[in-house]
Structure 1
């Protein structure tokens, strides 16, 4: 059965054919590191994780790249809250993202590139666009000329004439066309640009903007535009044409439209063959958003509901559909996960009991195994339909429970095959933490508590002037793989 995906570029469900029959390149637009990660972010992460897992199940070597946007006005707006500079704020929230990715049992990407480490590639790409006649310099900034790219608007199904102006109003006097977008921005960050994003306890806007990162370029000191970053990072690590580009539905325009234009203008080749967009997570009538303040953080959700329920909730709606964060949907996810968890446990207990025999046969259980082994690949090959895959597992669990309840002696072979189904699909593909197969995250919360306890002791030793002992504690943590970084706002750490 062939994998079929809904391609935003064509608007059609298409058979998936990677460039290399043995490998897939997959890029996901990562988080702008200006706020704690919330369940809206986690929805994209978990669905991309399952895409990665399913492509691996199909036999592909998956080259998965996801970026961190660590250069952005929203990050500058947080200076004084969680760090003393744009770079400090980004580092703090990148640490939060890594922690939450591990707590969600995500498979690791091949690499997590950051904007700040790819500025040379960004500058090279901008120079190429100027040389090819698709971009122009104005007062130290560089803009992409949307009228020079014939296919502009193809991804979002718009024409240039239908589009509103892009960018800040102050830029419009420099641009040839209101719809042109910035590839490189002259100077640093203007205090007026962060006003709407600042919190009450942030540093004064002028002070915060003094910490914004800038780089030298052929057009003068400045910062990269938002859209050019993903093109440069993607092409650096995955080549000029990628198989699958994933992102939120709210990024189709302008971000992904502009990625297409600048990438294809620079190379002359198709940038991404398949564009997959994850539906928004809504709370009430609005999307879950850091700017609206209507979010539940990943950390709080897992602490309250547990990993299994959170992943089940996020996968209970197909990735391309909008999902609702409500008490009802969380209750449904709780019941669904508990059903799967208990079914798995009962299958293991029965298979390991003295009542499991070599000659007991339950044809209904064995038929259920064969049925679910057909149903899940059919669902997953239908545009990664996790909703149907979960439904198939829940229905399969009914057959497991019936066998355990009704048979005095148990069908060992049937139960072993049932356990294999849970391990292969519930754990291996959907990433659910059943039994001992829930990933290598361990008890992250306990590990964090222990590290913070050691850091508290270390701080007490430093306050008492026992610097040698404080250094020893840091070295002991390092020996365990825990990286500690000291800053003016206190130590931060990264678990192995």
Structure 2
């Protein structure tokens, strides 16, 4: 069965036909690393992860790129709070984000490029756009001239004449058209640029902006514009044309629209064949957002619930549908995961028991396996519908529970087929860890155990037993627990 994808560019559900019949080029717009990653970010990660997994299941070789935006005014605004410079703040949050990704059992991307490492490629692309007449320099900054690109607005279905001004208000006098957007911004970061993003415990603004990185360019010292960054990184690590570009729904305009314009103007090729936009996660009727402060961090949720519950929550709604985070929806996810995990354990225990027989036949269980093996691929091929795919596994779980509850002798063949189905679809595609493979266990109990070890380490230090304290720290780090000492006491990350 052919995979079908809803393409934002056309507004239609289309058969998926990559450029190369054997491989897929996949790009996800990554984080601007200025705050802890929250569940809204994880929604995009998890669905991209499952797209990656399903395409590999279907036989494609997937080259998956996800960037880190480590140059941004929001990052500068955190200086003094989360690091001593823009680069320090970015590095801290990149590290945290990678740990969050690992905790959620995400497949590793092929490359995680950072903007700060791709300034030469950005400058080259900007020079190309100027040479081709799509961009112009003004007072040391460079802007894309949207009037020169006839298809501008095709992703967001907007007309240039009706668009509002893009960029900072102070840039408007430098631009030919109000909708033109910055490819390169002269100079560094001003205090006014970070004012709305600063927290009360941030460092002095005048000191923070001094740490903002700048680069020499043909137009003078400055910094890249936001939109050009993804174009440069995707063409560097994938190709001029990619197969699937994934992003949050809020990035359709202006970010993704501008990516298309500048990329296609520079290369003369279609930028992305399919655009997949993940709807934003909502809580209490508003989108989950760092700026609104209404978020639950990935670290906290995984610590409290475990990766399997969080993944089940994220995948219980298809990427293109509205999703809400609440105590009720989290409870539903917890119940679904427990039902799946218990079914897997019961199937394994029954299959491995003396009561499992080769000639015992339960037609209901056998039919449930067949139906799941039909329904799950059908759901995934229908626009990566994880909700329906998960429902197919839950139906199989129900059949396993009925079989074990109602029989004294077990259908070994069907139980084994059910286990294989859970492994193939639940583990390999949805990224859930069953049985002995479940790495998260009781996350809250694990945290409490780590806290006990840290308490013991502090007592050893207080008693002057520094070698013993170092041994405890080294043992925790060997187990994947990073200990960080501060004036307020030790903290840890897994």
Shorter-chain TM-score above 0.5: yes
Deviation at 1:238, TM superposition (A): 0.3
The residue number in structure 2 matching 1:196 is 196
- State the partner residue of 1:391: 391
- Residues 485 and 331 from structure 1, CA distance in 2 versus in 1: closer, same or farther, beyond 3 angstroms? closer
Provide the C-alpha distance between the structure 2 equivalents of 1:187 and 1:128, rounded to a whole number of angstroms.
21
**Structure-2 change in CA distance of 1:428 and 1:487 (3 Å):** same
State the distance in 1 between where 2:324 and 2:15 align.
29
- 5+ residue gaps, structure 1, are none
- Aligned position for 1:72: 72
Q: CA deviation at 1:489?
A: 12
In structure 2, do the counterparts of structure 1 residues 452 and 200 end up closer, same or farther at CA, with 3 Å as the change threshold? Answer: farther
Offset from partner CA, 1:91-110 (integer Å, 9 cap, x none): 11111101110110100000
Q: Distance in 1 between matches of 2:339 and 2:75?
A: 42
Contact 1:103 1:441 in 2 (8 A): no
SS of the equivalent of 1:436 reads helix
SS at match of 1:173: helix
The Cα shift of 1:82 comes to 1.1
User: What residue number does 2:351 align with?
Assistant: 351
CA contact (8 A) 1:423 1:437 kept: no
Runs of 4+ more than 4 Å apart: 438-458, 468-495
Moved more, 6-15 or 314-323: 314-323
Alignment pair present for 1:97 and 2:130: no
What is the DSSP-based 3-state SS (H/G/I as helix, E as strand, rest coil) of the residue aligned with 1:172? helix
Q: Is the 8 A contact 2:457 2:473 kept in 1?
A: no
Q: Structure 1 residue 29 and structure 2 residue 29: aligned?
A: yes
Would the aligned equivalents of 1:379 and 1:389 in 2 still touch at CA under 8 Å? yes
- 1:140-190 Cα shifts (integer Å, max 9, x gaps): 110000001010000001111111000001000111111000000001001
Q: How far apart, in 1, do the equivalents of 2:344 and 2:473 lie?
A: 42
Q: Is the 8 A contact 2:454 2:490 kept in 1?
A: no
Partner of 2:135: 135
Question: What is the CA-CA distance between 1:476 and the residue it aligns to?
Answer: 8.8
Query: Hey, what's the Cα distance between the residues in 2 that align with 1:489 and 1:209?
Result: 28
RMSD, aligned α-carbons: 3.1
**Preserved CA contact (<8 Å) 2:305 2:443:** no
State the partner residue of 1:83: 83
Deviation at 1:492, TM superposition (A): 10
The alpha carbon displacement at 1:321 in A equals: 1.4
Could you tell me how far apart the structure 2 residues matched to 1:494 and 1:308 are?
19
Instruction: Tell me: CA distance 1:59–1:438, structure 2 relative to 1, closer, same or farther (3 Å).
Output: farther
Q: Distance in 1 between matches of 2:81 and 2:108?
A: 29
Partner residue in 1 for 2:60? 60
Cα offset for 1:487? 11
SS at match of 1:50: helix
Unaligned runs of 5+ in 2: none
Count of aligned positions: 494
Residues 5-404 of structure 1: pairs in structure 2 closer than 5 A: 5-404=5-404
Flag the 1:349–1:110 CA change in 2: closer, same or farther, 3 A.
Answer: same
Give the Cα separation in 1 of the matches to 2:393 and 2:81. 45
- 1:119 is displaced (CA, Å) by 0.6
Distance change in 2, residues 1:161/1:439 (3 Å): farther
Cα distance change on mapping 1:329 and 1:487 into 2, 3 Å:
closer
In the alignment, is the contact (CA less than 8 A) between 1:427 and 1:437 conserved in 2? no
**TM-score normalised by length of structure 1:** 0.92
Asked if 2 retains the 8 angstrom alpha-carbon contact of 1:279 and 1:319, the reply is: yes
Describe the SS at the equivalent of 1:424.
Answer: helix
Please list the CA deviations of residues 330-381 of structure 1 after superposition, one character each: whole Å capped at 9, or x if unmatched.
Answer: 1211111111111111101100111001111112211111110000000000
Give 3-state SS (helix, strand or coil) of 2:202's partner. coil
Query: Does the residue aligned with 2:151 lie in a helix, a strand or coil?
Result: coil
Once residues 412 and 426 of structure 2 are traced to their aligned partners in structure 1, the CA distance between those partners, rounded to angstroms, is: 20
Taking the aligned partners of 1:455 and 1:220, their CA distance within structure 2 comes to 54
Counterpart CA distance in 1 for 2:184 and 2:173 is: 16
Distance 1:478 1:333, change over 3 A: closer
Conserved 8 A contact 1:95-1:494:
no
Whole-Å separation in 2 of the counterparts to 1:318 and 1:442: 27
Deviation at 1:488, TM superposition (A): 12
Check conservation: 2:55, 2:62, Cα contact below 8 A. Answer: yes
Q: Helix, strand or coil for the counterpart of 1:194?
A: helix
Secondary structure, in 3 states, of the residue corresponding to 2:174?
coil
Q: CA deviation at 1:480?
A: 8.3
Post-superposition offset of 1:436: 3.0
